[in-house]
Amino acid sequence: MFNSFSRSYELVRHSWAVLRQDREIMIFPVLSGLASLVVAASFIVPVILFGMHHPTGTPAPGQPQPGFHIQDAWYVYSFIFYVVSYFITIFFNVGVMHCAAIRMDGGDPTVADGFKGAFAHIGSIFAWSLVSATVGMILRMIEERSGLVGKIASSIAGVAWSLLTYFAVPVMIFEGAGVGQAITRSGQLFKKTWGEAVVGESGIGLFFGLLGMIGLLPIFAAIYLASQGSIGIAAAVVVGAVVLCYWIALAVVSAALQGVFHVALYRYAATGQIAAGYSEDLIAGQWHPKA
């Protein structure tokens, strides 16, 4: 466990060494989160209003059956939501990746460079959003219609798909590949560096997960002190708000670091070169490429 945490810390430290030179690119995860909240609200509110005015249920005997299937309409609605959500996430991730690539090439990226790179590949981003949404909906339907076996199969297939397409977005934006070529190329690159990819992503997640758990301590303390009358409810709410801001900051930094690491690992997988800001021992020394 200690070795795992140590590697996780080193990955975070080296990724931060790259990111701290261009802290402004952390605006991309912030904008991604805000846009996702707006989209979620725009899809959820109509569903709530529809449910209030059209309560679901089986029609009473003698009443006409509905002219369309609510479940089918819901799948279509969900698919559109998936497409938009994926598009937002991928678009801003591409912004981070472009800035990271410029920095690793010795340049000095700006937020405008990130947006320029993302808009330059907006067609590819939309195409990949459609593919991701389609796969997501298929897995969801399998999970909902096949019971426990379907849930297990869907989970396994979801993990396999995530691993297979780990490098798909970088391949599309840095190599100009189409969707089919990106999936094939991503699978080839992942086979070469599966250890680095899995350990890197899970390591960064582990590190920030532990930092996030630290935020629970002041919340528990505030709840206890409020129950004992040592502090007021308002003070406890303030503590909760501060911890919420702390968690948001962690999420933003974590997303940006994962984008930076993703580009560094893609370059290593595609060219065998260690990106500037990373040590050879960290990426290539501990987890050797697989034949």
**Token pair for residue 13?**
């430290």
Contact 274, 268 (CB under 8 A): yes
* Beta carbons within 10 angstroms of residue 74's beta carbon: 11
pLDDT category at 290 given cuts 50, 70, 90 is: very low
pLDDT in the model for residue 284 = 56
Judged against a pLDDT cut of 80, whether residue 12 lies above it is answered with no
Which DSSP string do the residues of 96-153 spell out, in sequence order?
A: HHHHHHHHHTT----HHHHHHHHHHTHHHHHHHHHHHHHHHHHHHHHHHHSHHHHHHH
Mean pLDDT, the chain, integer:
81
Residues 6+ positions from 55 with CB-CB distance below 8 Å = none
Residues in the chain, total: 291
For residue 87, what are the CA distances in angstroms to 94, 111, 113, 171, 265? 10, 19, 19, 17, 23
Q: Which amino acid is at 57?
A: G
118-122 CB contacts, 8 Å cutoff, 24+ apart? 118/91, 118/92, 118/94, 121/94, 121/172, 121/173, 122/91
pLDDT in tens, 125-183: 999 999 999 998 888 888 877 777 778 888 888 888 888 898 999 999 999 889 999 99
- Look up residue 64 and give its DSSP letter: P
Judged against a pLDDT cut of 80, whether residue 192 lies above it is answered with no
Burial of residue 101 (number of CB atoms within 10 Å: 0-12, 13-18, 19+): buried
pLDDT in the model for residue 92 = 95
Give the residue from 61, 57, 209, 82 showing the smallest Cα distance to 140. 82
What pTM was estimated for this model as a whole?
Answer: 0.78
CA distance 230 to 54: 48
Helix (H, G, I), strand (E, B) or coil at 165: coil
Q: Rg for the chain (alpha carbons), in Å? A: 22
* Beta carbons within 10 angstroms of residue 50's beta carbon: 14
pLDDT category at 67 given cuts 50, 70, 90 is: very low
pLDDT in tens, 238-267: 888 999 999 999 888 888 888 888 888 888
Residues 6+ positions from 59 with CB-CB distance below 8 Å = 65, 66
The average pLDDT across 106-131 equals: 93
The percentage of the chain sitting over the pLDDT mark of 70, rounded to a whole number, equals 79
**Residue predicted with more confidence, 240 or 50:** 240
**Token pair for residue 282?**
């960290």
